[in-house]
Structure 1
């Protein structure tokens, strides 16, 4: 348990940041789920639109420190590949 005033303050700050990060992570997952559902649905146009709206959210997650940039790059690359495969 935190004893010093500084440690107590840091604990309070971490709680607030955790809530914000949870909300951001949830929002990003929602966008990813929409892309996944569009891909499973087989409609390339809808999937492409969902992908375009998900991209900035994922990149924002990188700048806010929720995801590593390589993780997001990998996810975007794989989703893009699957969307392109719908055309074939």
Structure 2
């Protein structure tokens, strides 16, 4: 338990931030799974929209510090390479 008023506030903020970060991370994982499932099913029509949504969520999460910038970039690069290979570009 916090002994000071400021320490108690930091504890409350940490709890709140953890919940928000967890939600963001979950949203990214969900988008990633949707994209991978579409890749495996070779669903060409949905791929660009799914990749765009994942890129948006990953970039936002990286800006907010949920993921590192390089981690987000690596995930986007690898998945977009898979999408481009399937689309034939």
Give TM-score scaled by structure 1 length.
Answer: 0.90
Aligned to 2:24: 24
Aligned to 2:37: 37
Aligned to 1:4: 4
The answer to whether the 8 A contact 1:43-1:86 is kept is no
Which is richer in helix? 1
**Can you give the 5+ residue segments of structure 1 that lack an aligned partner in the other structure?**
none
1:67 CA displacement: 0.8
Could you report, residue by residue, the CA deviation over 1:34-59 in whole angstroms, capped at 9, with x for unpaired residues?
A: 11111111122322221011111111
Aligned to 1:74: 74
1:84 CA displacement: 1.8
CA distance in 1, matches of 2:49, 2:87: 15
CA distance in 2, matches of 1:73, 1:16: 26
**Can you give the 5+ residue segments of structure 2 that lack an aligned partner in the other structure?**
none
CA distance in 1, matches of 2:87, 2:26: 30
Give TM-score scaled by structure 2 length.
Answer: 0.89
Aligned to 2:65: 65
1:62 CA displacement: 1.0
